[in-house]
Structure 1
Amino acid sequence: MKNLTTSKLIKLAHFCLCAFLVINFYSCSRTSDDYTTSNLETEALLEGDLTLATSCQYTIVPEFNNVIFPSRSYTWSAEPSNLVDFTVDPLTFAITIQTLAEGTVTLNLNSDDGQVSSSTQVVIDDENDGILKILAIGNSFSEDALESHFWGLANAQGKQVIIGNMYIGGANLDTHATNASSDSNSYSYRKIDLDGTRTVTSGVSISEAVADENWDYISFQQASYESGLFETFINPLPIVYNAVRSHNSNPCTKYILHKTWAYAQNSTHSGFANYNNDQMTMFNGIIDAYILAENLIPVEMVVPAGTAIQNARTSFLGDGFTSDGYHLNDFGKYIASCTWYETLFGESVIGNSYSPDGMLPLYIELAQQAAHEAVLTPNEITELTDYQDPGGNGILTQPVFINFSTSDNPDGWNAYTGFLEGVAIPNMIYTNGQFTGIEAATTSRFRGVNNTSGAGSTTTDLNMDDSVSKSNFYSHALAWGSNDPIEESIIEFSGFESNDTYEFCFFASRNSVSDNRDTKYTLVGANEQSANLDAANNATNTVCISNVQADANGKIILKVAAGDSNNNGNQFYYINALRISPQ
Structure 2
Amino acid sequence: MKRINYSIKFLCSLMLVAFTFVAFVSCQDDDAVEPNRNLSVDLTSATMRVGNDLVLTPIFSNFTSQQEYEWEVSDSSVIVISNVSRSYEATISAIGEGTATATIRTLDGNQQASTTIETTLVRETDVDLPESITAYTRATVTITPDFNPVDVPTRTYTWSSSQDGIVSIETNPETYEVEIQGLSVGTTELRLSSNDGEVVGTTTVTVEDENDGILKILAIGNSFSEDALEYYLYGLAEAANKEIVIGNLYIGGAQLSQHVENANSNAESYSYRKIDLSGNKTTTNNVSIATALANENWDYISLQQVSQNSGMYDTFVSDLPALYDYVNDRMTDDGVRYLLHQTWAYAQNSTHSGFPNYNSDQITMYEAIVNAYDMAQALIPTYAIVPSGTAIQNARTSYLGDNFNRDGYHLNEIGRYTAASTWFEILFNESVVGNSYMPDAFTPIDIEIAQNAAHEAVQMPKEITELTNYQNAGGDGVITNNVYVNFGNAASSSQWNNLDSFLEGATVPNLKYANGQFTGIELAVSSRFNGVNTNGESQTNTELNMPVDVSGNSFFGNSKAPFSGRLVETGVIILTGFEADDAYDFCFFGSRTATDNRETQYTVIGANTGSSAINTASNNDNLACISGVRPNSSGEITIEVTAGPNNTNSSGFFYINAMRISPQE
Q: TM-score, normalised by structure 2?
A: 0.78
Match of 1:565 in 2: 646
Measured at CA, do residues 358 and 112 of structure 1 come closer, stay the same or move farther in structure 2, by a change above 3 Å?
A: same
SS in 1 for 2:315: helix
Check whether the contact 1:50–1:123 (CA below 8 A) recurs between aligned residues.
yes
Match of 1:431 in 2: 514
SS in 2 for 1:366: helix
Check whether the contact 1:53–1:127 (CA below 8 A) recurs between aligned residues.
yes
* 1: CA distance, partners of 2:588 / 2:96: 90
Deviation of 1:111 (Å): 6.4
Deviation of 1:108 (Å): 5.1
* 2:600 is the counterpart of 1:519: yes
Counterpart selection for 2:161 from 67, 72, 78:
78
Match of 1:36 in 2: 95
Measured at CA, do residues 272 and 33 of structure 1 come closer, stay the same or move farther in structure 2, by a change above 3 Å?
A: same
Counterpart selection for 1:319 from 402, 419, 424:
402
Deviation of 1:93 (Å): 6.7
Runs (5+) with no aligned partner, structure 2: 1-79, 85-89, 98-118
Check whether the contact 1:401–1:412 (CA below 8 A) recurs between aligned residues.
yes
Deviation of 1:529 (Å): 2.6
Which amino acid is 2:569 matched to?
A: E
Larger displacement relative to structure 2 (429-438 or 522-531): 522-531
Match of 1:378 in 2: 461
* 2:614 is the counterpart of 1:533: yes
Match of 2:537 in 1: 455
Q: Deviations over 1:188-245 (max 9, x none)?
A: 1110111111000111111111111111111111111111111111111111111111
Counterpart selection for 2:592 from 494, 507, 510:
510
Larger displacement relative to structure 2 (410-419 or 97-106): 97-106
* 2: CA distance, partners of 1:91 / 1:233: 33
Q: Higher RCO, 1 or 2 (CA under 8 Å, sep at least 6)?
A: 1
SS in 2 for 1:294: helix
Of all paired residues, the percent bearing the same amino acid is: 51
Check whether the contact 1:303–1:340 (CA below 8 A) recurs between aligned residues.
yes
Check whether the contact 1:42–1:64 (CA below 8 A) recurs between aligned residues.
no
Check whether the contact 2:157–2:192 (CA below 8 A) recurs between aligned residues.
yes
Check whether the contact 1:430–1:436 (CA below 8 A) recurs between aligned residues.
yes
Measured at CA, do residues 91 and 447 of structure 1 come closer, stay the same or move farther in structure 2, by a change above 3 Å?
A: farther
Match of 1:387 in 2: 470
Q: Deviations over 1:76-131 (max 9, x none)?
A: 33344442023457798775433123345555556667899877664422232111
Match of 1:98 in 2: 181
Match of 1:484 in 2: 566
* 2:575 is the counterpart of 1:493: yes
Q: Deviations over 1:21-73 (max 9, x none)?
A: xxxxx9985899956049999889999975432232456788999xx999986
* 2:633 is the counterpart of 1:552: yes
SS in 2 for 1:485: strand
SS in 2 for 1:242: helix
Deviation of 1:526 (Å): 1.5
Match of 2:267 in 1: 184
1:344-359 aligned within 5 A: 344-359=427-442
Which amino acid is 1:302 matched to?
A: I
* 2: CA distance, partners of 1:242 / 1:258: 18
Match of 1:465 in 2: 547
* 2: CA distance, partners of 1:530 / 1:477: 17
Check whether the contact 1:41–1:70 (CA below 8 A) recurs between aligned residues.
no
* 2:258 is the counterpart of 1:199: no
Deviation of 1:428 (Å): 0.4
Measured at CA, do residues 393 and 27 of structure 1 come closer, stay the same or move farther in structure 2, by a change above 3 Å?
A: farther
Check whether the contact 2:559–2:567 (CA below 8 A) recurs between aligned residues.
yes
Measured at CA, do residues 91 and 364 of structure 1 come closer, stay the same or move farther in structure 2, by a change above 3 Å?
A: farther
* 2: CA distance, partners of 1:427 / 1:70: 72
Match of 1:419 in 2: 502
Match of 1:18 in 2: none
* 2:427 is the counterpart of 1:368: no
Higher helix share: 1
Check whether the contact 1:52–1:252 (CA below 8 A) recurs between aligned residues.
no
SS in 2 for 1:98: strand
Runs (5+) with no aligned partner, structure 1: 1-25
Match of 2:335 in 1: 252
Which amino acid is 2:596 matched to?
A: D
* 2: CA distance, partners of 1:278 / 1:203: 37
Measured at CA, do residues 120 and 29 of structure 1 come closer, stay the same or move farther in structure 2, by a change above 3 Å?
A: farther
Check whether the contact 1:181–1:240 (CA below 8 A) recurs between aligned residues.
no
Which amino acid is 2:477 matched to?
A: G
Match of 1:14 in 2: none
Which amino acid is 1:534 matched to?
A: N
SS in 2 for 1:429: coil
* 1: CA distance, partners of 2:156 / 2:366: 45
Higher strand share: 2
* 1: CA distance, partners of 2:300 / 2:343: 17
Match of 2:657 in 1: 576
* 1: CA distance, partners of 2:478 / 2:398: 23
Measured at CA, do residues 561 and 112 of structure 1 come closer, stay the same or move farther in structure 2, by a change above 3 Å?
A: farther
Which amino acid is 2:399 matched to?
A: F
SS in 1 for 2:316: helix
Match of 1:10 in 2: none
* 1: CA distance, partners of 2:226 / 2:128: 43
Aligned residues: 555
**How much is the aligned-residue C-alpha RMSD, in angstroms?**
3.0
Q: TM-score, normalised by structure 1?
A: 0.88
Counterpart selection for 2:235 from 144, 149, 152:
152
* 2:227 is the counterpart of 1:175: no
* 2:282 is the counterpart of 1:223: no
* 2: CA distance, partners of 1:490 / 1:399: 21
Q: Deviations over 1:445-466 (max 9, x none)?
A: 1111123x11122111212222
Larger displacement relative to structure 2 (80-89 or 301-310): 80-89
* 1: CA distance, partners of 2:456 / 2:256: 28
* 2: CA distance, partners of 1:369 / 1:415: 21
Larger displacement relative to structure 2 (458-467 or 167-176): 458-467
* 1: CA distance, partners of 2:308 / 2:183: 42
Check whether the contact 1:102–1:125 (CA below 8 A) recurs between aligned residues.
yes
